[in-house]
Structures are given as C-alpha cells and as structure tokens.
A and B are shown apart, each in its own frame.
Chain A
C-alpha cells in the first residue's frame, strides 16, 4: 500500500526524518530549511511549520541530532559549510529555530557527517574533501554550542603515511547503531576520491586505553581496495552474534559480515557475504530497516530496491519499487 503523505516545496534538495518519523527537515536550493510536522502521533498528514534561512548556498544534506540532545539538525552546504540549528522556546522570542554552532570553515569542504555515541558523550564525525576525518565532542549535554575537536586523522590503515593532496568528491559515514554504554563506539567510513588508499571503507573504534581512534577492519577485498565508495550502512543488530555492514561502490553493493571478537592485534574479522548488482550505476542511499534484515537502496537508475537474505544465507533482491505516474 502506498500513499502520498506530504508535498515538498519547490527547490528541495534533500530531506531527513527525525528519530520518530514525526518531523521532516528539507533543505532547499536557496539555503532555506523547512520543517514539516505531524501534530498527532497517529496521523500521517504533515504540514510545514517552520521555514528559515540557513545559508546563502544550497543545502546538500540535513542530519538530525539524536533526540537526547533536543530537536536540532546539522546542515551541510554546497559551499562546504557545516552549521547546527536548534528549535527552542524562549520567553522573549517564543518558539523558533536558532543557530547554535557554525563549524570553522577551512580550505576543505564537509562531505558527510553523522552523530553517534548519544548514550554517553555525543560525537560528531565529519569527513572533509581533503580526506580528513574530524571527530568533535559535545562539551555540555544541554547546550549544542560548545564542541571540542577530539581527533583528526585520515581514512587509512597505515597511520604514518599522509596523503597531502587528496581530493574527495563524496564520503559516507555510518555509526554502529548499537546503543550501549559498555561497548566502545565505532563507525565505518569510506571515500570517493583520487587517492586509492583513502577510499576503502574502514571500521574505526575508539581505544579507551590509548585514547585514540583505531582502524579495526577494512571492508574490501585486495583487488577492490581502490574502488570509490558511494555509500555505507551499518545494520541495527537486535541479537545477531555478528555485525552486518553494506558497502556500495560503482561495482555494486556488497554485504559484509563483521565479527565481534578482536584478534591479538585488535582487528575484527571481516568477510564479504555477497556482491549484489542492481542499480547499474551510482548508489545514492542505503538504509537498513529496524530489525536489520532488509536493506533499502536508491540509485541513479531512479529505483528503490529491497535486498534480503534467505534462510540459506543467500542475499538477493527481494523487490523493486519503480516510480510510475
């Protein structure tokens, strides 16, 4: 059953739903941000409730801040800027959206960001066009203004080498969705760049003893290491003894099995379960459902595809949704 639930304004470039699916943020080509709300939790009609100007250039991506930190979004602009906006109600101004933080703009552009570690200390991973990864930490649980740079590194296994002249077109980040105060936070990140070593997706985990981020797995076969990565997605794990991560390159979508017990060097075993082809060309987005069994993808062929494993562990395309007038 399909039904249209809201109409987007002209010039919409990107959309993002909040944690509960009750609010949608839409970024526009003129740098405005629109918020659509459903007032009643049972209804699925949405109306636009706020519109405000974030920046002069087009908004490329909107990401919601985890709900433990309020109703807030991060916006990536076409000019490579990154800003945080928050909805607040104040005595003087009433209910409105205010700018909390504009991250320093240097020569490189922000390509992708994701929030993680909401249980303990909120972190923001940002991938930049020069191949750098920056991790910011929120200093105050109630104020989104104060952030501190916790770490900065490149997406390479060999931490000594440095690639000075990297130029990246896109990047994709996905946190391990597990909510746990015990488990160390980790995320996977891949680039699409002119420096082969940066491209392949690596799983980064925070090492408490040494207080630094370490690459614990690389999700590519030796012959694929240079492939440009267009999207990564870490599946929710509701009780599997292993993790599942989907990686999209120009060669197709691959499903990776990531072990949970590190070897002597602290590495996690990674095994490729399947290579799936379908979108023919670039994969735009990938998202797992809340049980982590169905993967939905979109790509430049204009289709939505659903992927699943059968009981024998064979991954296959389950369905194709094709827009039709």
Chain B
C-alpha cells in the first residue's frame, strides 16, 4: 500500500489526540469482518456519540452466497481512556472516582487569589494527587503475616499497574514540593514498588529476587550458592537494604552448630549487615520495615555519610578477611563492600537496566545529587552504560521528565497511558513549573484558539461520552474548558436519546446546572414531538409546555379547535377534556387555549342543563355562551356550532334566558358569519344545512320574548 507503513496496531492504542511530535506515517488498523466477506460493495461511516465510529460494510451481490447477509455494522471505539491496561469495570470506577477530586481542585483554582496561588497551591494539588493515586490501587501489602517466615524475603503484593507507577512519578517530580530535596530517595522507593513492571520485558533485580526466593526453600547452605551472593549485591545496589539484611542472616554461620568453627566468618557477615543497617539516608523518615538512618538536612547527612564510608573502608582493609576460610563468603562480602564504596563497574555488573543502575549511582556514587539538570546528565550516563534493549513506556516518561521537556511528557502520557492520565496529570504538571504552566495554558491559534490543557480535557470528555455508563460525567470536564467545552457539551446533549425518560431527566439536570436552558428546551421539544407522533398526546402537551414551544402548542390548540368545532358528541369530547385541562394550566402559552377552557366550562354547564332541568343551571350556561361569543379569541368556526348546541337555551320554556342586547349580539354574530361564508378560507363547521335557519329562528323568538319581558 503506498504511503502507509506496514505495521499494524491495536485499535485500543489508536490515538486521536494531536501532538506537535506527530511525524509518523498513519498506522493501519484491521477492521475485523464478522459476518461478511470481501469484496465489499460499499463502506458507509457515521460518528456516534463521542469517539465512536460506526462503519456499515455492505456486501456485493454476486460474491454473496445464500447464507451471507447483506452486510454488517461494526462499531469502532477510537482509543480508550487508559490505553487498554485496566479492565473496563475497574476503569469506570477510576473514572467515577476521579470526578470529585478533579472538580474540587477546579473550584479551588477559581476561588484562589494570585498571592496564595503562588504559595499554597501545591498543597491542594498534593491532596488531589493523593486521592487520585488511591484510586489506582494499593501497592503496599496491607496486613503483615502473623507468623513471619524467615525465608520470605520478598512480600507478595498485588501486581501494580503502570498507570499508578506513572502517576507516582508525576506526583514526585511536579506536585510534591516537600520532597524536592530528597527525590533520589523517592525514586528508590518508586523502583522498589514498580521494578516488577519491567520484569515482563527485560531482566530485573526484582525478577531475579523472585526466582531466587522460589529456590530458597530447597537450598541447604545458601552461602555456597553463587546466586545468593549475586542477588544480595543486586538488592544492595538498588537500596533494598531490608531484603539484603534478611538474606545475610540466612548465612550458614549463624547456625548454632557452626558457632565454634565459623566465628570470624560470622563476625564479618554481621559487620556488613550492621554497616548496611547504619547507612545514612537523606530523607525525613522511613517506613518501619525499611532500614537506614534518616537525616533530614544535608550537612548532617554529609557528615554521617563520610563517617559511614570511613567505616566501610576500614572494614575493607581489615585483617580479618585473611582469616575467613569460606571463599564464597569472602568474595561475596567484599563485592558488597565494593557496591557500598561505589565501584562503578561492580554497580554496572549487579544491576540489569539503566534505572536500577541510576538508583545505585544515587546511593553510592553521587549521593548528593540535586536538581533535575544533574539528574538528567546522570541518567544519560546510565543509559549509555546500560543501553535500552526494550523501551518500556515508563522509561520514556522518566526521560521526558528528567530532560524537563513538557511536550515529550505530554506525548508520552497520552500515547502510553491514555487521555484519562493526561487530563488528570496536567494538573500536576501545571503546578510543577511556570514553564510547563505557560505551555499548557497558551492559546494555540492553529487548533481554534484553545490551549493544550483544554484539548486534552475535550479528548477525554469525548471518550467518556462514547459510553452510556460514563457520558454523564463528561460535563464535569467539559465545563472546565473555557472555550469549547460548552459547545461540545451542547453537541453531546443533542445526541442523547431523549425519548427515554431517564436520559431526558438526566440531560435536563445537566442543562440546569450549566445554564443551557435553550438546549434543554430543545430536548423537551424533541421529546414532546416524539410523544405527539406516537399517540401520547398528554405527555406531548406537557413536554411542549415545558419547552415553551408556542408554535407547536398553538398548532395543537388549532388541531383541537378543528376537532371540537366539527364534532359535538359528548363522547368524543370527553377524550379531549383532559388535554384541555392540561393545556389550560398555562393558558398564556397559547392564545387559543383560553377559549378551549371556556368552551369546556360551557359544555359542562350545558350538560347539566340536559340532565336536570333547573333554570339556574340554564342561566349559567347562557351566561357562559354570551361570554364565549363576546370573547375575541373564540374562533369564528365555532360560532354556529356553539349556537346550535345552545338551541335548547334559546328556546327555554320558562322564559327567555337572554335579554335584548345579548340577543342582538348573537344576531350580529350570525350576520357576520353569513357574510364570512362568502369569503375564501371559511371553515365550514359541518353542521346540518338547516342549522343556521333554526338558530336564526330561535334567536328571533328569543328576541321577541325578551322585548315583551322588558
């Protein structure tokens, strides 16, 4: 295929976030055909919510056998939130859990003044970072075993994720201002927790330790085993002092039956163990199970360090070595002393990848390293000594952080750890340095004037929107985007299936919280029309009223006029009564509805007249009739049916119900009506032809009787 590299990738890792660093050729992703076979006649595409693309694959007619269908639709999710490392359900838990800390941080940011921002902001960011980190799983084993097996040198813990490892790196370098002075020690702790992640792709100290531990139960005299000494030097090099001391105490010279013969040997082992446990550490405190002496200030630490190194040198030159008969012990312990004395070639021999070597250099070669610049040059040196055979995604991230290249860090984050990570880690990066903050918040005219921070939030929100279980948290991220967030939120809401009641309610709530009334009106309108067309007239009127859609409500009112204007049977009118009631509650929304309400009252009183024959009721009905006929909102098409229905009132036995002026009003209306008949656009009420005649006669009779009365 011309213009396309041949490597094919996993759809999960498909990144749709633009970077400045993108120079590579497009990657090719296979679209698996499940039911159809090639050749295909046509492909049709449609974006669903978020970043979901639906592809219709249509089969050619000739190629298809009887069994093959006409085609299929394949749904492709372009990129996932976490680059595919975490199972979906757990990932959703993280997605939901991170909403609250993120929202809280945003609201704090908005309410903070500039002065405090400079000073205290990182504390809020740290609080946020800790909460997010706790969602990513726990690497520390929670309950220590009650009976400690001396042969368990490495505690079994839950397998950590790269995502957590990456988060902790970001926190350490960007957010945690308190630990800036002892970053090497934090990096050491970090590697202790996450060295296992590298084991899958390359040899590591952790992997060696695990395999040795598995053998340990079957080994009789460990000190005769070369691997025992190798693994101790390695663990010592990367600073896992507790493990080393524990292993040293497994040395055969500690056994009771050996006491007489191996005192010197045992003494040397114990001396080394003692030196290890006295190692000065530049850190404020340490977890209880770890060993070493903590110093929180640099001068104290330097003093202690010099003293400690002097002790090692002294032991190294001691005459006791000559008296140690066990050769492996002598060589092994000497090698460990070389590790502690910072012998570069020994360190390089006992570590497996550059990060391990890097840590060993911090511990034994350059313990006073501070500042990212010198840390980066040291990292480069270590990478040179231990070339990268497999570039793990965490290595890419560390390098980016150390070379202080925000763009690389961003690109690594979004490429290797996905949009969730990028969106949330940007908060840490922005807190890290002014330079990073500027880069993240600078408006990019080439992408429509948004900043990088907003770009990543939009991307993440789009991923959230593509799933029915997470779309409702997307608005939190969208509303934190000043420029294009609301625009995308609107588009997202317009794509919601509002005929589902719960979806409609949820969408309305989101609109209410974000001042998007016009969007919510539109959704209610869509729901109203849907109900109207599907026979749920009551719900239709309700939602259209909520939507304040006067155009459609008037149209419905007109529909009702047409209906009640033509049919006078009480049966069918009953069906409409409920809706008139509903429409009437906010009669101002539609002018014609006021009439309908009056008309309903009139029909009711007319009905009473027909049931019981009281003059009072008849008088009330007559009043209602007059008020209806006077009202300008009463449509002309109703005049005749109203009068025709009221014939009984007009011919009331016990005396005229209408006085002279009232009767004249009705006669005038009748006159107007006969003139209107000649005009185009007249709506005929569909009454019997003699209706007009009988009304006129009744009115004339009534007038006569009224004149006689007055």
Query: Could you list which residues of chain A lie within 8 angstroms of chain B, going by C-beta atoms?
Result: 1-17, 19-22, 24, 28-29, 41-44, 46, 67-71, 86-91, 95, 119, 140-142, 179, 236-242, 277-278, 284-285, 287-291, 293-294, 296-298, 302-306, 308-313, 316-325
A312-B20 in contact (CB<8A):
yes
Q: Does B526 contact A (CB under 8 A)?
A: yes
| Pick from B483, B495, B498: contact of A21, CB under 8 Å | B495
Is B555 an interface residue when CB atoms closer than 8 A count as contact? Answer: yes
Least CB distance, B46 to chain A, in whole angstroms: 5
Question: Are B458 and A291 interface neighbours, CB within 8 A?
Answer: yes
- Bound Cα distance A9, B18 (Å): 38
A290 touches B462 (CB 8 A): yes
Contact A88 B533 (CB under 8 A): yes
Q: How far is the CB of A101 from chain B (nearest CB, A)?
A: 15
Partner of A311, one of B32, B58, B447: B447
For B447, the closest partner residue in chain A by CB is A311
Q: A1-B77, A142-B532, A320-B27 given as contacts; is B40 within 8 A of A302 (CB)?
A: yes
User: What are 16 A-B pairs with beta-carbon distances under 8 A?
Assistant: A2-B32, A3-B75, A6-B73, A11-B70, A15-B58, A20-B498, A43-B468, A68-B529, A71-B530, A88-B535, A90-B535, A290-B491, A293-B447, A313-B446, A316-B26, A319-B16
**Are the C-beta atoms of A17 and B31 separated by less than 8 Å?**
no
Instruction: Tell me if B371 counts as interface (CB < 8 A to partner A).
Output: no
**Contact: A24 with B525, CB < 8 Å?**
no
A118 to chain B, nearest CB (A): 9
Q: Is B28 an interface residue (CB 8 A)?
A: yes
CB < 8 Å: which of A239, A289, A318 contacts B26? A318
State whether the Cβ of B630 lies closer than 8 Å to any Cβ in chain A. no
Determine the distance from Cα of A288 to Cα of B488 in the docked complex, in whole angstroms.
Answer: 13
A290 to B78, CA, bound (A): 13
Cβ B54 vs Cβ A21 within 8 A:
yes
Contacts A15-B44, A17-B46 given; 4 further ones with Cβ under 8 A?
A1-B77, A4-B34, A67-B526, A317-B3
Residues of B within 8 A of A28 (CB): 70
Are A298's CB and B45's CB within 8 A? Answer: yes
User: Bound state CA distance, A290 and B42, in angstroms?
Assistant: 24
Stretch of B261-269, B303-311, B448-456, B589-597 that contacts chain A? B448-456
CB nearest to B12 among chain A residues: A1
Contacts A68-B525, A239-B483; A316 near B46 (Cβ below 8 A)? no
How far is it, in angstroms, between the C-alpha of A7 and the C-alpha of B54 when the chains are bound? 13
B31 & A294 in contact (Cβ 8 Å cutoff): no
Q: Which of B412-462 contact A (CB under 8 A)?
A: 444, 446-450, 452, 458, 462
A21-B46, A298-B44, A322-B31 as given contacts; A15 in contact with B73, CB under 8 Å:
yes
List 8 A-B pairs, minimum CB-CB distance, nearest first: A238-B487, A313-B446, A240-B448, A239-B484, A89-B535, A8-B71, A42-B468, A21-B48
- In the complex, which residue of chain B has the Cβ closest to the Cβ of A3? B75
Nearest Cβ on chain B to A273's Cβ, whole angstroms: 10
Residues of B within 8 A of A4 (CB): 32, 34-35, 72-75
Q: Are A86 and B533 in contact (CB under 8 A)?
A: yes
B139 close to A (CB within 8 Å): no
| Chain A residues within 8 Å of B42, by CB | 13-14, 284, 298
Judged by a CB distance under 8 angstroms, whether B51 is at the interface is yes
CA distance A111 to B464 in the complex (A): 37
> A288 and B47 in contact (CB under 8 A), knowing A238-B488, A302-B40?
yes
Cβ-defined contact, A285 with B18, below 8 A:
no
Min CB gap A60→B, angstroms: 11
Q: Are B11 and A1 in contact (CB under 8 A)?
A: yes
Closest residue on chain A to residue B64 by CB atoms: A10
Contacts of B213 in A (CB 8 A): none
Q: A71-B530, A238-B488, A291-B488 are in contact. Are A21 and B20 (CB under 8 A)?
A: no
- Given A15-B56, A304-B53, A323-B33, verify A5-B27 contact (CB < 8 Å): no
Q: What's the nearest-Cβ distance from chain B to residue A98, in Å?
A: 11
Instruction: Name the one of A179, A287, A311 contacting B46, with C-beta atoms under 8 angstroms.
Output: A287
Considering the chains assembled together, what is the distance between the CA atoms of A270 and B157 in angstroms?
Answer: 61
